[in-house]
Each structure stands twice: as C-alpha cells, then as structure tokens.
C-alpha cells in the first residue's frame, strides 16, 4: 500500500510545488536495510569533528543507520567498551544542489548530551575552509534544551567563532514524540528556514560578496547525531539514555 502511495506521490509532486518547483531528488526510505548507496555516503571517524564530540561515526553499519518500517533510523549508542557510536550520512557527490526547497520530516532523539542535526555543507569549498564557504543548519537540537530547535547560518562574516552567527531558536516541545518537517527555501536572494511549511527565519543576500553570501555554490545534505561536544555536552551527558535515534520519514528536494 505504501509503495502505491509513493508512486502516486511522485507522479503528483513531480509536477510542481506551489506551481513552480519540481521534485528533483528524494528518498522515501521504503527499502529495508542499509541506506541507498546511490544516494548516501558516510563521514566516519572519532576525532571530535571540530567540536570535541565523543562519538565514532561508522560506515554503513546497521547498528547506527538502518531503514525499517518506511523510515531511516540514525542511532547513537553507548558501546560495550564505554564509548559511543553513531552515524553521519551525507549526500555529497550523490545529491548536490544550488538553490531549491529542501524538506526533511523527522522525529528527534531525547537525552542529555545528544546533538542531532540536519544541515548542509559546500561540496566544492570554492571560498576556502570553514566558515568561508558557508554552512546551512536546517535544524539543530541539543538534549539540554529539550523544548527547542535552532536554525543557523555560518559564513566568514557571520559565524559563532566570532559571535556573529545568524541563529533563530523555536519553541517546539514535542520534537521527541512527533514528526516535524524541517526545511529551507533557498534562492539567489535569500534562504527561508521552514518549520512545518511556515517560514520561521530568513537570511538575505546582502549583495556584498562571498564573505556574507557564499551560497551561490553547490551544497549537500548531512544527517547525524553527535554525542557530547562543545554545545551538545554543555550540561553533561546522561549515559542512561542510550540508545537513542533520529527517525527520518523522508527527504525531498525541489527546484
């Protein structure tokens, strides 16, 4: 029945969104097992990821990333040796876009010390290393602020290292119990951040060059759960919460 629904969905939405944008890339997570390797790769390792994070990101390990019951489950675990494992899925060189509407329907993990994120990084890094080539944080959530989600922009001029990042926090008390649609609508003039289809924050192109607006290049999507870190672990880490997962119902990209 779900397969029939998905087929009908693609026929309908491939036509347009708001009469303009067409579906160009999607994953409905219908095939159980390892995520589709034609759409997803992995960042792997346990080197802290620039934020003093504690997890080891694994490569195509169904303990940390698996599709079942029509959803992608990204799971953070405490391993038998007292360490932590998780997954960081990326669409780099499999799904890279300049402009468009991107929507991710997800339910978030719960627990002190967890740091799930839905975000984007540049594929080609034309303007240099982070933050010069930009970062788009569609959704970030930290376990010590369980009723909130955040959207942020990082560029050379606007980033948290110098205290100028452009950030918007939203009160969303049911992120662990219910799905929400996190998204952006990105054009050459601005990036609108969306929560359940409503614009909650906008970042405009100031027309002053790439120090403010490096978003005229290709970006790819990342989905992950970090453990601890400078923000996620700011109020400590509760080992009793594991395992925890972020459940993703779909990812859809329109242009």
Catalytic residue among 53, 135, 156, 247: 135
- Give residue limits of the domains in the chain: 22-254
Vertex 201 angle, CA 200 and 204, to 5°: 150
Q: Is 135 a catalytic residue?
A: yes
Question: How much is the pLDDT for 224?
Answer: 98
Question: How much is the pLDDT for 114?
Answer: 98
Among 134, 114, 137, which residue's Cα sits nearest to residue 237?
A: 114
Half-sphere exposure of 30 (CA within 13 A, CB side): 10
Q: Is 156 a catalytic residue?
A: no
* Residue-by-residue pLDDT tens, the chain, 255 positions: 444 444 444 444 444 455 589 999 999 999 999 999 999 999 999 999 999 999 999 999 999 999 999 999 999 999 999 999 999 999 999 999 999 999 999 999 999 999 999 999 999 999 999 999 999 999 999 999 999 999 999 999 999 999 999 999 999 999 999 999 999 999 999 999 999 999 999 999 999 999 999 999 999 999 999 999 999 999 999 999 999 999 999 999 999
Percentages of the chain per state (helix, strand, coil), in multiples of 5: 5, 45, 50
Question: How much is the pLDDT for 19?
Answer: 57
Residue positions counted in the chain: 255
Global pTM reads 0.93
Catalytic residue among 28, 53, 140, 156: 140
Among 78, 190, 214, 201, which residue's Cα sits nearest to residue 149?
A: 201
Question: How much is the pLDDT for 40?
Answer: 98
How far apart, in whole angstroms, are the C-alpha atoms of residue 204 and residue 171? Answer: 23
CATH code: domain 22-254 is: 2.60.120.200
- Main-chain dihedrals φ then ψ at residue 6, nearest 5 degrees: -65, -40
């Amino acid at each position: 029945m779900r397969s029939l629904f998905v087929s009908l969905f693609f026929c309908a939405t491939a036509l347009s969104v708001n009469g303009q944008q067409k579906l160009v890339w999607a994953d409905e997570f219908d095939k159980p097992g390892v995520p589709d390797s034609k759409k997803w790769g992995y960042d792997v390792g346990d080197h802290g990821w620039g934020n003093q994070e504690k997890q080891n990101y694994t490569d195509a390990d169904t303990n940390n990333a698996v599709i079942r019951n029509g959803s992608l489950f990204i799971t953070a675990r405490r391993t038998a040796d007292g360490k932590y494992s998780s997954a960081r899925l990326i669409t780099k060189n499999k799904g890279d876009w300049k402009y468009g509407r991107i929507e991710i329907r997800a339910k978030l993990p719960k627990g002190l010390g967890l740091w799930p994120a839905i975000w984007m990084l540049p594929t080609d890094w034309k303007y240099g290393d982070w933050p010069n080539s930009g970062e788009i944080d569609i959704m970030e959530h930290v376990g010590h602020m369980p009723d909130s989600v955040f959207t942020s922009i990082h560029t050379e001029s606007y980033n948290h290292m110098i205290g100028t990042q452009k950030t918007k926090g939203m009160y969303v008390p049911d992120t662990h119990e219910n799905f929400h649609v996190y998204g952006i609508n990105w054009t050459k003039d601005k990036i609108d951040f969306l929560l359940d289809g409503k614009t909650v924050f906008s970042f405009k192109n100031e027309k002053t060059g790439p120090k403010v607006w490096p978003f005229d290049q290709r970006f790819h999507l990342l989905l992950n759960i970090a453990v601890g870190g400078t923000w996620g672990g700011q109020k400590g880490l509760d080992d009793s919460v594991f395992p925890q997962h972020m459940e993703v119902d779909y990812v859809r990209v329109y242009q």
